[in-house]
Amino acid sequence: MTQTPLQECSREIIEKKLHDHLAVIYPDKDGDKLAQKLMHVMRLDEDCQSPLPHKNLWDETDVVVITYGNTILSEKQHPLKALHHFLKTHFTMLINSVHILPFFPYSSDDGFAVVDYKQVNPKLGDWSDVLRISTDFHLMADLVINHCSAQHEWFINFQQGKSPGNDYFFTVDPNENLSGVVRPRTTPLLRAVSNGSSSKCVWCTFGHDQIDLDFRNPQVLLEMVDIIRLYLDMGVRIFRLDAVAFLWKKIGTSCINLEETHEIVRLLRSLIEYADPNAVIITETNIPNRENLSYFGNANEAHWIYNFSLPPLLVNSLVSGNCRYLKNWLMSMPPAQNGTTYFNFIASHDGIGLRPVEGLLTDDEQETLIQTMENFGGQISWRALDDGNKKPYEINISLFDALKGTTAGEDEWQIDRFICAHAIMLALEGVPAFYLHSLVGTTNDYQRMLEHGHNRAINRRQWQESELNQKLKDPTTHHHKVFYQLRHLIKLRREQPAFHPNATQFTLHLGEQIFAFWRQSINRRQSIFCLNNISDAPQTVPFSSINLIGTDRWKDLVSDQIFEDMLGSVTLQPYQTLWITNRW
């Protein structure tokens, strides 16, 4: 195929970028040869495009829904078709992106122990279903990059001493001192297995059915790039790099967030954006806040990073009635550079992580939060420490049940508190993401947790589409009330330039019961003052403390109330949200 001058220029640039990345990752390898292989696998030698640096590929209309491929079930069609139908029926023109959690054949961990990266789980559907969804929504898919299933062909070959796979997995001498390795689980790190005629210990960050790949072998990197190319062909627009912080191991270190890991993220970013300049990378790094922020790099790693500290801090504020810790955190968060932004969520398929609040919440505050969640039916998952002890890792609970009361117990404000949490998320700097179960007010699923034998199943209910639709139609159900109030807020958000993910944000200081911040559109024409009463008592705020401009007319977008007297005040009822703007 004949290359245009622009394509030739792009190719030269990406080749140089790849050579620089590879010099850090594989200093002893032939970087030129490996770069050419990567280009070929990604088909950049056929079609190479130039991404625009620091370009925002998103705006205020971007809203994501997170779901499993089989959350919505139907007797008439495969789960992916049922999901597509449900999303089109209820969220057309409201939600434009969908994260379908691993939809591949798997052996455990609800999809994150992948048996075959290149096939769709036949119980869900096939690639044609995935492609159809990607025509109506921006599709986010998981690249489960750190490990694969013990039933994957590569690991079966490893055990037989055959290729491909014989040298794809990280092995280590069990006598090595591994006490400094950071663990997200309590299971033993190493698993002894046969490798042809010998025995080796393979590295298992997350469990013995999830075997860590060895990226010290460039062939593993080539395999992953080949998988990325397939996903691009199948309509994937947003790549979620699962558990990427654990990717590179080096004996004698913590084996998390190593420089080689960051360089591999940069390399994958380069490959993906030169193949599709509109594609987005998001890193899933459930780690302390400062470490998480490092995955922005110099606007050359993740386009988006998960705001992992938001869920526990926000839940803590709403059940304690005090936003001190949430406000302190917000003031410490740097504005994202153009071309990057935060990915805001407050519920997901996993639990409410506690590592992201290390250094943000006191031990006493964490203990009170944990006890409150247990009182509301939540479960606690643990991780191992290097001294042999264990520490709470996450709280497993549906968000609707997590907000059924305060530290004093259950009360009548559950729905209001739940809506307030999402109003805050929708207004913050970044792209908002809703777990599908939050959109419909799903409660704890104790039966599923018992059947599956792990805590996370408590928040992974499967709905029959007909049953869920009936509940959403019935105005007496909490499902209906939650669903339509959230739809209203999403619609409002999508119409406000001041809610662009990269619009200006400043924290306001209105006491510990009002969590407030100011957003201003990129062109500075629209301001929105976001006031949220996070307590169970009315709170009065003088307009003079907000410092509204007296020459503008101001209106609350949520209630349509117009404010004329700038010398007056406004009273927020328990868990009420105001979006006060000068343009509507």
Dihedral angle at the C-alpha atoms of 78, 83, 86, 90, nearest 10 degrees? -170
One domain, residues 459 and 539: no
Q: Is the full-model pTM beyond 0.85?
A: yes
Closest CA to 434 of 69, 136, 79, 95: 95
pLDDT of residue 1: 44
Per-residue pLDDT tens digits for 168-216: 999 999 999 999 999 999 999 999 998 888 899 999 999 999 999 999 9
Mean pLDDT calculated for residue range 68-79: 97
| Euclidean distance between the first and the last CA atom of the chain, given in angstroms as a whole number | 52
One domain, residues 327 and 399: yes
> Does residue 403 carry a pLDDT above 90?
yes
One domain, residues 104 and 230: yes
Last-in-domain residue among 499, 525, 560: 499
One domain, residues 218 and 232: yes
Worst-scoring range by mean pLDDT, 197-201, 345-349, 413-417? 197-201
pLDDT of residue 361: 95
Q: How far is CA 106 from CA 68, 121, 166, 263, 321, in A?
A: 13, 8, 21, 28, 42
CA 475-480-482 angle, to 5 degrees, is 130
Would 45 be classed as within a structural domain?
A: no
One domain, residues 81 and 114: yes
Integer Cα distance of 98 and 95 in angstroms = 8
Mean pLDDT calculated for residue range 323-345: 97
The β-bridge partners of 343 are 306, 431
One domain, residues 435 and 562: no
Per-residue pLDDT tens digits for 426-449: 999 999 999 999 999 999 999 999
Would 475 be classed as within a structural domain?
A: yes
Residue 349 labelled as part of a binding site: yes
One domain, residues 474 and 422: yes
One domain, residues 517 and 405: no
pLDDT of residue 362: 95
**Structural domain count, the chain:** 2
> Does residue 551 carry a pLDDT above 80?
no
Residue 525 labelled as part of a binding site: no
The β-bridge partners of 528 are 519, 581
Residue 456 labelled as part of a binding site: yes
3-state secondary structure 27-39: CCCCHHHHHHHHH
One domain, residues 390 and 425: yes
Would 206 be classed as within a structural domain?
A: no
pLDDT of residue 535: 98
- The CATH number of the domain holding residue 544 is 2.60.40.1180
In this structure, are residues 353 and 312 in contact, taking their beta carbons and an 8 Å threshold? yes
CA 110-114-118 angle, to 5 degrees, is 125
pLDDT interval class at 3 (50, 70, 90): low
pLDDT of residue 6: 53
> Does residue 10 carry a pLDDT above 90?
no
Task: Please name the amino acid found at residue 118.
Answer: K
> Does residue 2 carry a pLDDT above 60?
no
- The CATH number of the domain holding residue 293 is 3.20.20.80
One domain, residues 548 and 493: no
Would 2 be classed as within a structural domain?
A: no
Could you give the percent of the chain with pLDDT greater than 70?
Answer: 98
Last-in-domain residue among 499, 520, 542: 499
Higher pLDDT pick, 124 / 384: 124
Would 513 be classed as within a structural domain?
A: yes
Query: Of all helices (H) and strands (E), which one includes residue 225?
Result: helix 218-233
Would 193 be classed as within a structural domain?
A: no
Worst-scoring range by mean pLDDT, 63-77, 126-140, 379-393? 379-393
pLDDT of residue 196: 81
Last-in-domain residue among 477, 499, 521: 499
The residues that are catalytic are 242
Would 487 be classed as within a structural domain?
A: yes
One domain, residues 492 and 560: no
Dihedrals phi, psi of 210, to nearest 5 degrees = -125, 100
Would 188 be classed as within a structural domain?
A: no
Mean of per-residue pLDDT scores for the chain: 96
Residue ranges making up the domain that contains 559? 504-581
pLDDT of residue 174: 95
One domain, residues 302 and 401: yes
Higher pLDDT pick, 10 / 83: 83
Mean pLDDT calculated for residue range 394-403: 98
